[in-house]
Amino acid sequence: MEITVEHIGAVQFMINARGHQVVCDQPADNGGFDEGMTPPELLLASLGTCAGFYAVQYLKTHGLEQGGVRIRVSAEKAKAPARLASFRVEVTVPAALDEKHKAGVERAVHACLIHNTLLNPPEITLAIESPAAPAHAQ
């Protein structure tokens, strides 16, 4: 799995994945044009859409109403180091569920790839690449 990100001006970036594109930007008060989500919002969107996918799959598998599933994800900012903390995922399903199916949806959402990635932080390696420096003329 891989994406590429290209700086397209000011504080805007174009994200490319499998031929799809998403613009990432900052609000105007942070030097942006507010034409896309911020990086933290994209992270929340990843968690929410992943949770939604797993919830809908559970409902579908059990023959339950799945149209209209809504996910709300929020997080608080923390400092030292700067990061998002205290994520909250709220799943709203379109029909009343008994306790068995509520627990089933919860188990399904806990199986979400993004949820599990955040619970078990991956190793992140960083490489800085730049063109070779020109040789000094003598």
Cα–Cα distance for residue pair 82/131, rounded to 1 Å: 31
- 80 and 109 housed in the same domain: yes
Same structural domain for residues 84 and 107?
yes
Whole-number Å distance between alpha carbons of 120 and 111: 12
Whole-number pLDDT of residue 136:
73
CATH code where residue 97 lies? 3.30.300.20
What's the whole-model pTM score?
Answer: 0.89
Contact 52, 73 (CB under 8 A): no
Q: How many domains does the chain have?
A: 2
pLDDT at 137: 60
Measured in whole angstroms, how far is the alpha carbon of residue 118 from the centre of its chain?
A: 10
Asked if pLDDT for residue 109 goes beyond 80, the answer is: yes
- How wide is the angle at C-alpha 72 spanned by C-alphas 69 and 76, nearest 5°? 165
Task: Show the tokens assigned to 15.
Answer: 């994200």
| Model pLDDT for residues 32-75, shown as the tens digit of each residue | 999 999 999 999 999 999 999 999 999 999 999 999 999 999 99
What residue numbers bound the domain in which 21 lies?
Answer: 1-36
- Tell me 138's DSSP state: -
The 10s digit of each residue's pLDDT in 70-92 is: 999 999 999 999 999 999 999 99
Verify that 32 and 42 share a domain, yes or no: no
Q: Are residues 56 and 97 in the same domain?
A: yes
Q: Residues 28, 45: one domain? A: no
**Contact at 8 Å (CB) between 34 and 25?**
yes
